[in-house]
Amino acid sequence: MRNKQAIPYQYNEQAFSIRKIRKNFDAASIDEHPHRHSFYEFLYIQNGEGKHEIDGITYNLSANTFHIISKGQVHQFLFAKEIEGYLIRFKDNILPAVLSAKEGYYYTILHQISQHQDLTVEASDNAFVQVLLERMLAEYKIQSTKVIDLSLIQHLLYPLLILMHRYSNAQIETQDYQQNQYIQFINLLEAHYKHQHSLDYYAPKVGVTKRHLSIICQEKTGKTAKQLVNERILTEAKRLLTYTTLSLKEISDRLGFKNLAYFCRRFKKGVGKTPTEYKGK
């Protein structure tokens, strides 16, 4: 029986290793259990599907994507189906010794890469990545038959790290831009929710489609943009019902509803009680 008091470490004695990922498996067939890594692990998936778990969160294994497990994270493979790809493991000591700021460059970019769980390769870079990985694997197989010389492998790994760092920067820029769009939407909502209930009003002002606005909101809050609009209106309705003596008609008018009946239906649907029931709670 496994010791559930501690998560075991999975060690890799070599500074670097690479192999093809097994095509089909599940956690039971490979006797996979949650474990920590004493190394960095990059999974590059070319085709197929699967799932793995990092620090208790399940992620899909997606095509043309690097999946990143950092040193110290808890990892577990769950399953793979018709997977084609590579598994790379390496330690920090494969990077250049830090004797100057310039030589510390690779440690810096590796740190930024490790803040992501996945980075998708652009179509224009697929062939380049494939060449790097195939040559790494060929060189590793040659070296495993004799005294290991990692010189060539190191110089194949470095451009891969640089490319992944570029994807990391692009992802951060996208996330920052989406954060700004989300904040812009929330500010607009706060200013206009009493009279503007439709995404047809908000989305163009944020500069996105209604669908894209909902995707942004779901990524930030787990709720669609329409849900956020409805919640803001109903929050204000509940406040007015609780803390003022306004009539239902006055509240309905103040919140921009076309008639009282429609306000009551929306309130009942969102809150589970009629406005009158809520006020008398």
Q: Residue 143 has what pLDDT? A: 75
Digits of tens for pLDDT over the chain (281 positions)?
444 445 565 655 688 999 999 999 999 999 888 888 889 999 999 999 999 998 878 899 999 999 999 888 889 999 999 999 999 999 888 887 655 555 578 888 898 898 888 999 999 999 999 999 999 999 998 876 665 678 899 999 999 999 999 999 888 777 777 888 998 999 899 999 999 999 999 999 999 999 999 999 988 888 899 999 999 999 999 988 988 889 999 999 999 999 999 999 999 999 999 999 998 86
Q: Residue 3 has what pLDDT? A: 44
Beta bridge partner(s), residue 120:
65
Q: Residue 259 has what pLDDT? A: 95
Q: Which residue has the tokens 């692009």?
A: 170
Q: Residue 86 has what pLDDT? A: 97
Q: Which helix (H) or strand (E) holds 44?
A: strand 40-54
CATH topology of domain 9-174: Jelly Rolls (2.60.120)
Q: Residue 147 has what pLDDT? A: 57
CATH topology of domain 236-279: Arc Repressor Mutant, subunit A (1.10.10)
Q: Which residue has the tokens 């970019």?
A: 109
Phi, psi (deg, nearest 5) at residue 82 = 55, 40
Rounded alpha-carbon distances, angstroms, from residue 113 to 29, 212, 278: 31, 26, 51
Best CA proximity match to 174, nearest among 121, 216, 226, 225:
216
Whether this model's pTM surpasses 0.85: no
Q: Which residue has the tokens 């239906």?
A: 265
Q: Residue 268 has what pLDDT? A: 95
Q: Residue 170 has what pLDDT? A: 85
Q: Residue 68 has what pLDDT? A: 96
Q: At what angle do helices 225-243 and 210-221 cross, to 10 degrees?
A: 70
- For residues 10, 20, 112, 179, the Cα torsion angle rounded to the nearest 10 degrees is -110
Contacts of 220 (CB under 8 A, 6+ apart): 178, 179, 182
